[in-house]
Structure 1
Amino acid sequence: MSKTRVVIVGGTGYLGQHLLRSFADNLQANFPLALAFTHRSIHPPKALLNAIPQALHFQVDLSTGDGLNAISDVFGQPDVVINCAALSVPRVCEMDPEAAMSINVPTTLVKWLSSFREDTLLIHLSTDQVYEGTKSFYKEEDETVPVNTYGKSKVEAEHYVSANCQNFAILRSSIIYGPQTLSPVPKSLPIQSMDSVLAKGEALDFFHDEFRCPVFVKDLVAVIQILTNQWISEAKQVQLILNVGGPDRLSRVQMAEAVAHVRGYNTSLIKPVSASSVDRGVKSPSDISMDITKLIQTIGISPTSYTEGVRLTLEAEDRS
């Protein structure tokens, strides 16, 4: 039986590392899979290489496409490509729109995929920030009217993928939270950050009027695994856009309160403030909560509640 070739673009990031670990577990379970990932820096983290030595790795610059041909030359044509790479900090995107567009719109990646004779499934990570944020529970067919450069770059990416790929799944992810990665990522993780501050007994401001549907990282990984398995087993054309959020619409205050309840911290440390009171250097949508009915019906997954996800995250941190 021939091996399924899976490439994770942006494999050293938060979601990328969780995906690598999950696919590597399939490898250990004698699943016929070949695994590779891309990284932008010269050397990927040693901790990641040591944990998943069976995965090939390639240095790739998505803005120019440099390094992509080496994947097909050495690894072979991939059956599935999962694109997690992005410039995803909205303030950074606002400061450098050109960089945001060159990295977040995967023109070089899609052109590389189009050079293959056989079809490859592209699973592309998008964001809830494609929505304007003026109502609750956006559906996939609602108009995308992003309010910042990051959202605009992701809408442009969705349009490009949809117009130029035969087989794709676009996943509009909300805030991703969960345990730390094999090689710790430099960015602040939401649950761990809240836990760290509250544990010190320090009062902190949290927004009470911005709403999201945070998604547990292992649920997002499961969605990607299911899409991959369906493609391999059925090979039917896939052209799909899905909201991928958790089941709860939450403000930052409510997110912090759940951490406090799980840990037993004093909730009076959580000070509600309006998002409009803080200048973050970028416009932020107020309510981009998402309707995930299509996700549940299409994938057959029941996303983890936020409180349960917080408990699982903190248990994992305590064990590490």
Structure 2
Amino acid sequence: MEKTKVVIVGGTGYLGQHLLQAFAGNNGGDRYDVAFTHHSCPLPPLLLDAFPHFPSFPVDLKSGVGLHSISQNFGQPDVVVNCAALSVPRVCEQDPDSAMSINVPSSLVNWLSTFESNKTLLIHLSTDQVYEGVKCFYKEEDETVAVNVYGKSKVAAEVLIKEKCQNFAILRSSIIIGPQTLSPLPKNLPIQWMDSVLKKGDDVEFFHDEYRCPIYVNDLVSIVLNLIDRWVLSDDKQMRLVLNAGGPDRLSRVQMAEMVAEVRGHDPSSIKHVSASSVDRGVVSPADISMDITKLIQTLKISPTCFKDSVRLTLESLQ
């Protein structure tokens, strides 16, 4: 059986690294040829050592420089997973031009359009921030009215992909939680950060009126692998799918922190409730972008991990 060629765009990021780990295990080498792109140079040695069989390609998503090298040296991919993004809302607000040029994958879509047949599937990571945040449990068919530059760039990306790509799966991911990556990222990971501040016992403020559906990283990896397998096994090679990719629990930051305190035995009295409207974060943030994940569960026959178990699994990795 011919191996499936998979390219992970943004392989050095949080989800990208977890995907590479999944492909490296479970006899992935028997079924897949995997390559990944990166923007940061040079690559971290930890990453190079961990995945010696996965070719890496420096790519500038703004210009598309580097994409042609993948076609030449790796071949036309069967599946492209786009994890690359400027994903910090405040940074996007400060530099809207970069946010739009990186988050709207025009160069990537143009590259895919040069392939002879339309048999490449694009799995694109979008966000729950495409929703306005004025109600709970958004469904995929609800209108996307983003309130900040990050969300607007992701809405624009979805529009582009639907217009230009014949085959795609768009995953509207919520906050991704889980263990640290093989090559540690410089940014704070949500659960690990909550654990570290609550451990100190000092008062910490958390929002009580902003709601999300955090998803465990391994669930998101499973969703991507499930989609790839469906694509490989399908005869007609047709997929046009938008899925809410969140966990099963609608939670405020306060509730998330309380669960971390419960799992770790920290004193919950240091968790101070504040309104999101009382803090200027330099960016408008939607109040309630919790998502209905019925379509995800029914389409892929998976049930994402509950938040409490996700916290346990995440913090076990720190032992």
Q: Give the TM-score normalised by the residue count of structure 1.
A: 0.98
Structure 2 gaps of 5+ residues are none
Deviations 1:67-115 (A, max 9, x none): 0000010000000000000000001101111100000000000000010
- Match of residue 111 from structure 2: 112
Contact 2:211 2:287 in 1 (8 A): yes
Task: Label 1:169 to 1:314 Cα distance change in 2 as closer, same or farther (>3 A).
Answer: same
Compare 248-257 and 229-238 and name the one that shifted more. 229-238
2:88 paired residue number: 89
Aligned partner letter, 1:102? S
Equivalent-residue separation in structure 2 for 1:30 and 1:58 (angstroms): 19
Residue 57 to residue 255, structure 1, CA distance change in 2 (3 Å): same
Runs (4 or more) in structure 1 with deviation over 6 Å come to: none
Matched, 1:168 2:136: no
Query: 2:290 maps to which residue?
Result: 289
Find the aligned partners of 1:139 and 1:262 in 2 and give their Cα distance: 31
Contact 2:23 2:29 in 1 (8 A): no
* 1:188 is aligned to 2:192: no
| Residues in 1 aligned to 2:30 and 2:81: alpha-carbon distance in whole angstroms | 18
Aligned sequence identity (%): 68
Greater Cα offset, 187-196 or 28-37: 28-37
- 1:309 offset after TM fit, Å? 0.3
In structure 2, relative to structure 1, the CA distance for the partners of 1:29 and 1:19 (3 Å cut) is: closer
Q: CA deviation at 1:29?
A: 5.3
- Please name the residue that 1:73 is paired with: 72
* 1:129 alignment partner in structure 2: 129
1:16: which partner in 2? 16
Structure 2: distance between partners of 1:295 and 1:75: 32
1:204 maps to: 204
Q: Residue 25 of structure 1: CA displacement?
A: 1.0
Match of 1:245?
246
CA contact (8 A) 2:195 2:261 kept: yes
| Matched residue, 1:257 | 258
Q: Answer yes or no: is 1:146 the counterpart of 2:149.
A: no
* Pairwise CA distance, 1:10: 0.2
Give me the whole-angstrom Cα distance separating, in 2, the residues matched to 1:137 and 1:272. 23
TM-score, reference length from structure 2: 0.98
> For residues 111-150 of structure 1, what are the alpha-carbon distances to aligned partners after superposition, in whole Å with 9 as ceiling and x for unaligned?
0001011210000000000000000000000000000000
Match of 1:305 in 2: 306
Give the letter for the 1:46 counterpart: P
Q: Which amino acid aligns with 1:175?
A: I
Q: Distance in 2 between matches of 1:137 and 1:30?
A: 38
Q: How far apart are the structure 1 equivalents of 2:231 and 2:30? A: 15
Instruction: Determine the structure 1 residue equivalent to 2:317.
Output: 316
Q: Return the letter of the residue paired with 1:23.
A: F
SS in 2 for 1:122: strand
Deviation of 1:49 (Å): 1.1
Structure 1: distance between partners of 2:291 and 2:202 = 32
In the TM superposition, what is the alpha-carbon distance from 1:32 to its structure 2 partner?
A: 2.3
| Distance of 1:197 and 1:64 partners within structure 2 | 40
Aligned residue type for 2:55: L
SS in 2 for 1:31: helix
Counterpart in the other structure of 2:273: 272
Q: Distance in 2 between matches of 1:293 and 1:202?
A: 39
Q: Is the 8 A contact 2:248 2:307 kept in 1?
A: yes
Aligned residues: 317
Relative to 1, partners in 2 of residues 1:36 and 1:30: Cα closer, same or farther, differing over 3 Å?
closer
Q: Secondary structure at the match of 1:193?
A: helix
Deviations along 1:150-180, one digit per CA (max 9) or x if unpaired, are 0000000000001000100000000000000
